[in-house]
Amino acid sequence: MNIGEAAKKSGLPAKTIRYYEETGLIAPAGRTAAGYRSYSEADVHTLSFLKRARDLGFSVKDCAVLLSLYQDKNRSSADVKAVARQHIDRIVAKIEELEQMRSTLETLVSQCHGDDRPDCPILEDLAH
C-alpha cells in the first residue's frame, strides 16, 4: 500500500511516517518501480504501535526503546515496565507542575479586581 493508505490505516499523518523514516525510528519503506513508498500490513502494525505509544505521551526516544523491546522476543518485561514507570514519573512531575501553575494563577485572578482600574496583580506578578 502507498503512504496515504498506510497513514489512514495507522492513524498517523504521512508527514509523521516520513519523519519516522528520516530519523531512523522505522526502517525506510520499500519502493515501487516508480519510486513510491510501499508499506506492508506489518509496517502498518508497527506504525499503529508507534501511534498508540505517542498517544500515551511516550517520547520518540522512548518509542524507539519500546519498539526495540517489542521486536525482541527475548526481552524482559521488567525492561518494558521500567520504561513505562519512568514515563509515569515524568507525567506525575508534569501534573504537579501544572497544579502549581493553576494554583498561582487562581490566586492572581482572585486578587485582580477585573474592573476599569489600570492596576492589576496579574501583570505585576508577571513583571517581577
Domain count, the chain: 2
Question: Could you tell me the residue range of the domain that residue 65 belongs to?
Answer: 1-75
Alpha carbons 44 and 13: distance in angstroms, whole number: 12
In order of 49, 60, 61, 63, the CA distances from 25 in angstroms are 12, 8, 9, 8
| Co-location of 5 and 62 in the same domain | yes
Q: Give the residue-averaged pLDDT of 59-81.
A: 97
Q: Give the residue-averaged pLDDT of 33-48.
A: 96
| Co-location of 2 and 53 in the same domain | yes
One-letter amino acid for residue 106 of the chain: E
Single out the residue of 40, 51, 49, 91 nearest to residue 70, CA to CA.
49
Q: Give the residue-averaged pLDDT of 48-67.
A: 98
Q: pTM here?
A: 0.84
Alpha carbons 127 and 114: distance in angstroms, whole number: 18
| Co-location of 98 and 54 in the same domain | no
| Co-location of 106 and 45 in the same domain | no
Q: Among all chains, which residue has been given the C-alpha cell 479586581?
A: 113
